[in-house]
Amino acid sequence: MKNTRIGIIGAGPSGLAQLRAFEAAEKQGLEVPEIVCFEKQENWGGMWNYSWRTGVGKYGEPIHGSMYKYLWSNGPKECLEFSDYSFDEHFKKPISSYPPRPVLFDYIQGRINKSNARNYIRFNTTARWVSYDEDTKKFTLILDDLKNDKTYSEEFDYLIVASGHFSTPNMPYFEGIEDFPGTVMHAHDFRGADQFKDQNILLIGSSYSAEDIGVQCHKHGAQSVTLSYRSNPIGVEWPDGIKEVPLLTHFEGDTAHFNNGHKEQFDAVIMCTGYQHKFPFLPDELRLKTKNNLYPDNLYKGIFFNDLPQLMYLGMQDQYYTFNMFDTQAWVARDFMMNRYEIPSKEERSKDIDLWLEKNNNLQSSFDHVDFQTDYIKELIALSDYPDFNLDKVADMFKEWLNDKDENILTYRDKTFQSVVTGTVAAEHHTEWMDELDDSKERYLFADEKEEALTEVETTTKAI
């Protein structure tokens, strides 16, 4: 296998899952191919590697990160737990079900820090262009070493695209927006609610970003939050200070007009209008072209590019499941590259893709979406030796989570769930989420211990 070369683009959770999959095979005594992972940022973790920057980075590359200060997991951590590296193994004590970003970042790194994965990653390196030679059956990657300002190329037998798809904003136009006097930004550039304190803000969109940025701005002191939906409202019972209205039609100065006749003045507009799958390094014939959905077309098993299966994509689906889904994909991709898993003919693959697309088209409710992605992962898990976990129970937890959000959008993060990996029931967090204004790892993990220690000191002092 040593003369087989594998290139991975991106060291976010998906790219790291691929490195971990090979590490697991190596631990079983198998000879693994030569692997090189290219990461344009200075560190790994993808979205979880928070950047205060917006626009471009220090080498002029577009900023990848869309996460923000005070971001807490928006789903129970029990739904994304790695089945080969539990939260218990990492934190050594039960933690709550909805950790803040730095805590999840710590968890992702824990698993990979134990290996020599860093040696396989070239940081500050952007994959600039990919081509494929039909005769040699090899990919040529053109790479930019950003730090040293050097461009070079290398050849690979297999290519994994793990570059994520929540980075390039979808930015619609609304008449008159160019004359809006206040801040106009996309969720991709939102870095925290502080700047919107005491302001009246308008958020366009009705999905996770709109919901979470809206709630965060409310929590951190915005005067009012208005969410404008195109297709369906989020539809939960909003607290005073947040409301949902139909689609915006146009602006007149700082006044927004909506298609139900409502009009209102705003200080700022945040477009929570989603992202584009964008692969500026891939030529037309190798590029995945899709909207954000649960089963992108042309990917067999949601992984193998049907026209050329040596090219694989990880994590390109819309995501209920995240880290554990990327793992199940990476394990199957690994087995294909190590000749332990064979894929059928192109015709058979197309039939299989079509079956899934048809199922996807018939989904109605959010519960259907959860069941669909659960079935997809069940199929992948049967194909490799990634440790099995109780997917039916995870699906139930997702449904409970959806109900919890419907019940109270401000308190759902205070709920606890049980791990399907270890059976551990999550701890209740020391502070209710609405009162917790500090998202640091230090405070999250140790504030209660510190308080206990302080109480002990006080008690001892009193006794003396």
Interface residues toward ligand FAD, by CB under 6 A? 9-15, 38-41, 46-48, 64, 66-67, 73-75, 80, 126-127, 162-164, 166-167, 281, 315, 319, 322
Name the binder of 64 from ligand FAD, ligand NAP, Mg ion, none, CB < 5-8 A by kind.
ligand FAD
Nearer to ligand FAD, 163 or 328 (CB): 163
Query: For ligand NAP, which residue of 43, 207, 416, 424 counts as binding (CB under 6 A)?
Result: 207
Question: What amino acid occupies position 60?
Answer: G
Quick check: helix, strand or coil at residue 27? helix
CA gap 301, 399 in Å, rounded: 24
Nearer to ligand NAP, 206 or 328 (CB): 206
CA gap 458, 450 in Å, rounded: 12
Name the binder of 335 from ligand NAP, Mg ion, ligand FAD, none, CB < 5-8 A by kind.
none
Shortest CB 187 distance to ligand NAP, Å: 5
Residues in the chain: 464
Provide the terminal-to-terminal Cα distance of the chain, rounded to the nearest Å. Answer: 70
Name the binder of 274 from Mg ion, ligand NAP, ligand FAD, none, CB < 5-8 A by kind.
ligand NAP
Residue 8 neighbours by CB under 8 Å, 6+ apart: 15, 18, 19, 35, 36, 37, 38, 160, 162
What are the backbone angles phi and psi of residue 137, rounded to the nearest 5°?
60, 35
DSSP state of 94: -
Name the binder of 231 from Mg ion, ligand FAD, ligand NAP, none, CB < 5-8 A by kind.
ligand NAP
Shortest CB 464 distance to ligand NAP, Å: 47
Give the range of 1-9, 68-76, 155-163, 237-245 binding ligand NAP by CB under 6 A.
68-76
How large is the C-alpha radius of gyration of the chain? 23
What are the backbone angles phi and psi of residue 5, rounded to the nearest 5°?
-115, 135
Helix segments in 205-344, DSSP class H: 208-219, 323-337
Nearer to ligand FAD, 291 or 346 (CB): 291
Name the binder of 329 from ligand FAD, Mg ion, ligand NAP, none, CB < 5-8 A by kind.
none
Q: What does the per-residue mask of binding to Mg ion show for 365-404, with x meaning CB under 5 A?
A: ----------------x-----------------------
Q: Report which secondary-structure segment, H or E, holds 8.
A: strand 5-9
Shortest CB 327 distance to ligand NAP, Å: 17
CA gap 19, 1 in Å, rounded: 16
DSSP state of 10: -
Interface with ligand NAP includes 274 (CB under 6 A)?
A: yes
Which residue matches tokens 């701890």? 427
Interface with ligand NAP includes 172 (CB under 6 A)?
A: yes
Secondary structure in 3-state letters for 311-354: EEECCCCCCCCCHHHHHHHHHHHHHHHCCCCCCCCHHHHHHHHH
CA gap 411, 226 in Å, rounded: 20
Name the binder of 46 from Mg ion, ligand NAP, ligand FAD, none, CB < 5-8 A by kind.
ligand FAD
Nearer to ligand FAD, 73 or 228 (CB): 73
Interface with ligand NAP includes 409 (CB under 6 A)?
A: no
Nearer to ligand NAP, 206 or 226 (CB): 206
Quickly count: other Cβ atoms within 10 Å of residue 222's Cβ: 22
Question: What amino acid occupies position 26?
Answer: E
Residues 311-330 that bind ligand NAP (CB under 6 A): 319
Interface with ligand NAP includes 187 (CB under 6 A)?
A: yes
Q: What does the per-residue mask of binding to ligand NAP show for 221-250, with x meaning CB under 6 A?
A: ---------xx---------------x---
Query: For ligand NAP, which residue of 82, 166, 279, 313 counts as binding (CB under 6 A)?
Result: 166
> Which tokens in the block code for residue 52?
């205060």
Q: What does the per-residue mask of binding to ligand NAP show for 69-88, with x meaning CB under 6 A?
A: --x-xx--------------
- Identify whether the C-beta of residue 254 lies closer than 8 Å to the C-beta of residue 181: yes
Interface with ligand NAP includes 364 (CB under 6 A)?
A: no
Distances (CA, A) of 5 to 36, 104, 109, 279: 8, 31, 25, 22
Nearer to ligand FAD, 167 or 228 (CB): 167
Nearer to ligand FAD, 67 or 426 (CB): 67
Name which of 176, 188, 178 is nearest 213 in CA terms: 188
> Which tokens in the block code for residue 133?
């030679």
Q: Give the interface with ligand NAP as residue ranges (CB under 6 A).
A: 71, 73-74, 166, 170, 172, 187, 204-209, 212, 230-231, 247, 272-274, 292, 319
Q: Give the interface with Mg ion as residue ranges (CB under 5 A).
A: 381
